Amino acid sequence: MNELSINIHIAGRVYPLTVDSKEESNLRATGKLIQDKLQQYSKQFNLRDQQDSLAMYAIEIANENLALKQQLLESANETEVELDQITQLLKHIQL
């Protein structure tokens, strides 16, 4: 494993991380995404406290995460029903 030491800047703070070289670009992009989103919230809602922006973004991410989990569960349930239907159809086929 090829590890790198990088610094991610979020909300005026520096977070030193040791990461695998394969993850570096993704983590840097993640840091930039977070910082951009915080700036967007600060401007949109005229927020002066970074904590408020962080909290709003945390709520957004958690909401998206829950929605994706629900979609995945629904998809898995639909797949299970379809597989049961196929299994029932295959039972009637004689070789």
pLDDT in tens, 13-43: 999 999 999 999 999 999 999 999 999 999 9
**Helix/strand/coil percent split, the chain, to 5:** 65, 15, 15
Closest CA to 11 of 30, 39, 43, 44: 39
Where is pLDDT greater, at 93 or 56? 56
The number of domains in the chain is 1
Write the DSSP symbol of residue 8.
Answer: E
On the question of pLDDT at 58 being above 90, the answer is: yes
> What confidence category does residue 95 fall into, taking pLDDT thresholds of 50, 70 and 90?
low
Quote the pTM value.
0.76
For residue 94, the SS3 value is: coil
Amino acid at residue number 40 = Q
Give the model's pLDDT for residue 37.
Answer: 95
H/E stretch holding 3 reads: strand 3-10
In terms of residue numbers, what domain contains 23?
3-91
